[in-house]
Amino acid sequence: MGQITTAENPNLTIPSLGFQGLPTGIDVRKVLDTGILPVINTAIAHKEAGIGMIGAGITHPPAEVFEKAIIALAEKLAPQFPRTEN
């Protein structure tokens, strides 16, 4: 995750990694450049309080969401950065 994020959060540290900050801020450009997809940790709580979790797992989002995100970002920023003729 450190290869595809923008920073480390010093308020959330990982003891087994020498108290390194938790990787924070997924950068869509880094995901597309490296091909590394972020890890999503999921959990499902029971509908009745006090029973606890009924499921958990790890997954990765599809790469297409990052491709669509970079296109949407470029379209949103395009008016701010007009192209100039050389």
Tokens of 56: 């958990």
Question: What was the pLDDT predicted at 26?
Answer: 95
d(CA 43, CA 54): 8
Is the overall model pTM greater than 0.85, yes or no?
Answer: no
Sign of the C-alpha dihedral computed for residues 13, 53, 25 and 32 taken in this order: positive
pLDDT digits (tens, 9 = 90+) for 5-44: 999 999 999 999 999 999 999 999 999 999 999 999 888 8
Give the per-residue pLDDT at 3. 96
Residue 38 contacts residue 61 (beta carbons within 8 Å): yes
- CA atoms lying within 13 Å on the CB side of residue 29: 3
The reported pLDDT for the residue numbered 71 is 93
Report pLDDT digits (tens) over 39-71.
998 888 888 888 888 888 999 999 999 999 999
Indicate the residue type of 23: P
